[in-house]
Amino acid sequence: MLAGSEEFINKSWRVKQRLGGAMRQSGVLAAMCLYALDNNISRLSNDHEVASFLGSELEKLETVEQILPIETNIVIFDLSDETISAPNLVQKMREQGFQIGAFGERRIRIVTHLDVDMAAGIKLVEALKIYLK
């Protein structure tokens, strides 16, 4: 049980959501994590390397306004108002065979993983350059 002011409870609820406290079927996710740790721990650095590469290439594009610090295999960046919207970019990338995510109109998230090698990262950058001129 959690007790406190309305402000405290509201803040606690938001923190719980951010940490995945409302996720259903979390056991399935935990099983995937355990599998990755048992079978692929030695190659996690590859995912981080591809993510870092993506970040360094995105920094060169004028239509990318901000790239959040890349600490793992997740790349999050904001698009300028002068370029394609995030949802439209997601659709264009899907048509090219890439799956990326949009958060609102201007923020994009890319996650590298076991099936994304450096060659795929290079292809993704080339595809992104078409729309982020």
| Helix (H) / strand (E) containing 108 | strand 107-111
Q: What percent of the chain has pLDDT over 90?
A: 71
CB of 90 within 8 A of CB of 100? Answer: yes
Q: Which of 85, 55, 49, 57 is nearest to 68 (CA)?
A: 55
CB of 107 within 8 A of CB of 76? Answer: yes
- pLDDT tens figures, 111-123: 999 889 999 999 9
Band of pLDDT at residue 30, cut at 50, 70 and 90? confident
Q: Residues spanned by CATH 3.90.1150.10 within the chain?
A: 41-131
For range 83-91, the mean pLDDT = 98
Band of pLDDT at residue 124, cut at 50, 70 and 90? very high
Q: What would the CATH number be for the domain defined by 41-131?
A: 3.90.1150.10
Q: Which of 65, 69, 54 is nearest to 110 (CA)?
A: 54
pLDDT, mean over the chain: 93
